[in-house]
């Protein structure tokens, strides 16, 4: 009997190699270099937003907190929710850019494998985060631990809806890991997007296929924007001060469950990202020569759009929207579309050589490590940020305290994310890899 392991057994054992899995974190990633900077900055933006929310939760200086939040320096932090829309743009863009060449023969027979690849990509770390939240009573204790016990109960009751990516539809008010709504929406958009990619792989050589794909993506983006507009103006989500027969629509709970977590409302940035991704795929290894005036015009338009969307989060601007409901409906319906257009152009410009110093900054090697951890950081950061508040400590809120809290939250999140990837994600991906390989059609 030989003592040598078979190749399959060797691969199984290597899946648990700390040396091998750690090297995966430092491997040079391929793809579009500027996207590493976008991904890293987006996840850090989300962490500092959540740090500020937790720091304000039990602050002892309420008056100073109100002044700081309404100040000029804080509105950038309060606009951190836009980073989620950045992730939708990046997800749609990379879906097309990396998959278009593989979808020429996409049909009903291989759609399950297409979906399975995406599901397996998200499953290991999401399952680890669910287990971590369900086990939180054994990790955290304090005077306010009871306040966080509801999240534990929700994960023990509705863990299945989180892992199946349906919780924003099935139990939107009883979510396990409230911030994981993004993954549910993203997975649902991936299911729909597969139908739009039929024939996209032949678009580089076939003008008809290219036209059909452009038409499908453009129609999907326009339909998503139109549906969002109709949705916002019909339901009037922010109208909480008026007596009306539909006042129930304006409740905060309805706003979160039917607007903020809504797949239709969140879809425009994803489809816009798909359009930019398809443009980059068609122009892969080629450069689109544009006149300088058009480049500067697009740069200026992207800058104006992004600044307007962020300034809309300033307390003074919010007061204007609160008194002008039609303007507020337009903001809710179109702000994410404008942000996606600005971000999409910036990515396109950087990739095509028109990004200048912005492309240099976003392509720095220092972003690559954080970008590799971004998915894990998004999942675990909110859990880790909530735990200290369960111990019953009080907070003092100001900008300096916020920066210290952010640095600590980011450092702990990075450490936990590295451990989760090395010990959970990498081994499971290796073990599940045989399920994702296409079956051989070769006949001897």
Domain ranges of the chain: 32-69+366-433
Span 424-438, average pLDDT: 78
Q: Which of 166-170, 303-307, 315-319, 348-352 has the lowest mean pLDDT?
A: 315-319
pLDDT band at 10 (very low <50, low <70, confident <90, very high): low
Which is more confidently placed, 11 or 256? 256
pLDDT at 430: 81
The pLDDT tens digits for 333-372 are 999 999 999 999 999 999 998 988 999 999 998 899 999 9
pLDDT for 60 beyond 90: no
Contacts of 5 (CB under 8 A, 6+ apart): 13
Which is more confidently placed, 17 or 169? 169
> How many Å apart are CA 277 and CA 210, to the nearest integer?
13
What share of the chain has pLDDT > 70, as a percent? Answer: 77
Span 63-82, average pLDDT: 72
pLDDT at 39: 94
Span 389-400, average pLDDT: 71
**DSSP state string for 216-245:** HHHHHHHHHHHHHHHHHHHH-TT--SS--T
pLDDT at 246: 42
pLDDT band at 248 (very low <50, low <70, confident <90, very high): very low
pLDDT at 239: 46
**The token pair that represents 325 in the structure block:** 């409901």
Residue 207 CA: distances (Å) to CA of 102, 193, 203, 218, 279: 18, 21, 6, 16, 13
Which is more confidently placed, 229 or 61? 229
pLDDT band at 274 (very low <50, low <70, confident <90, very high): very high
The pLDDT tens digits for 180-216 are 999 999 999 998 887 777 656 555 656 777 788 888 8
Span 114-126, average pLDDT: 90
**DSSP state string for 324-335:** -HHHHHHHHHHH
The answer to whether 151 touches 133, Cβ cutoff 8 Å, is: yes
The chain-wide mean pLDDT, for the chain, equals 81
The pLDDT tens digits for 397-425 are 778 888 888 999 999 999 999 999 999 99
> How many Å apart are CA 89 and CA 271, to the nearest integer?
8
pLDDT for 242 beyond 60: no
Span 1-19, average pLDDT: 61
For the entire predicted model, the pTM comes to 0.89
CB atoms within 10 A of CB 150: 10
Span 65-80, average pLDDT: 70
Main-chain phi, psi angles of 395, to 5 degrees: -120, 155
Q: Which of 36-40, 205-209, 281-285 has the lowest mean pLDDT?
A: 205-209
pLDDT for 280 beyond 80: yes
């Amino acid at each position: 009997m030989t003592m040598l392991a078979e190749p399959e057994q060797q691969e199984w054992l290597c899946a648990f190699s700390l040396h091998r899995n750690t090297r995966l974190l430092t491997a040079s990633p391929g793809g579009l270099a500027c996207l590493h900077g976008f991904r890293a900055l987006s996840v850090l933006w989300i962490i500092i937003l959540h740090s500020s929310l937790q720091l304000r939760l039990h602050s002892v200086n309420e008056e100073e907190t109100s002044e700081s939040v309404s100040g000029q320096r804080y509105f950038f932090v309060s606009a951190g929710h836009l980073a989620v829309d950045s992730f939708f743009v990046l997800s749609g863009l990379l879906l097309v850019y990396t998959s278009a060449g593989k979808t020429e023969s996409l049909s009903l027979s291989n759609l399950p494998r297409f979906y399975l690849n995406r599901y397996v990509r998200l499953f290991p770390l999401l399952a680890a985060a669910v287990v971590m939240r369900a086990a939180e009573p054994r990790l955290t204790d304090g005077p306010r631990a009871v306040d966080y016990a509801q999240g534990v109960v929700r994960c023990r009751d509705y863990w299945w809806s989180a892992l199946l990516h349906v919780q924003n539809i099935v139990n939107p008010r009883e979510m396990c890991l409230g911030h994981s709504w993004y993954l549910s929406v993203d997975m649902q958009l991936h299911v729909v997007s597969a139908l739009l990619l039929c024939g996209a792989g032949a678009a580089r050589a076939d003008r008809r296929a290219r036209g059909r794909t452009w038409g499908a993506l453009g129609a999907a983006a326009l339909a998503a924007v139109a549906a969002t507009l109709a949705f916002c103006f019909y339901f009037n989500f922010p109208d909480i001060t008026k007596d009306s027969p539909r006042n129930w629509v304006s409740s905060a709970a309805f706003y979160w469950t039917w607007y903020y977590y809504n797949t239709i409302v969140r879809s425009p940035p994803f489809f816009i990202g798909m359009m930019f991704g398809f443009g980059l795929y068609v122009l892969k290894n080629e450069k689109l020569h544009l006149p300088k005036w058009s480049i500067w015009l697009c740069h200026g338009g992207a800058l104006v759009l992004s600044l307007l969307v962020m300034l809309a989060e300033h307390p003074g601007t919010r007061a204007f929207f609160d008194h002008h409901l039609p303007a507020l409906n337009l903001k809710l319906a179109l702000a994410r579309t404008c942000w996606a257009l600005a971000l999409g152009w910036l990515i396109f410009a950087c990739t095509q050589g028109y990004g200048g110093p912005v492309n240099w900054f976003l392509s720095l090697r220092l972003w690559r490590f954080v970008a590799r951890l971004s998915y894990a950081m998004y999942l675990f950061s909110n859990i880790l940020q909530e735990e200290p508040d369960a111990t019953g400590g009080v907070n003092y809120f100001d900008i300096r305290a916020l920066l210290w809290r952010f640095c600590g939250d980011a450092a702990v999140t990075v450490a936990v994310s590295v451990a989760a990837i090395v010990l959970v994600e990498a081994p499971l991906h290796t073990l599940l890899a045989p399920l994702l390989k296409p079956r051989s059609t070769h006949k001897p």
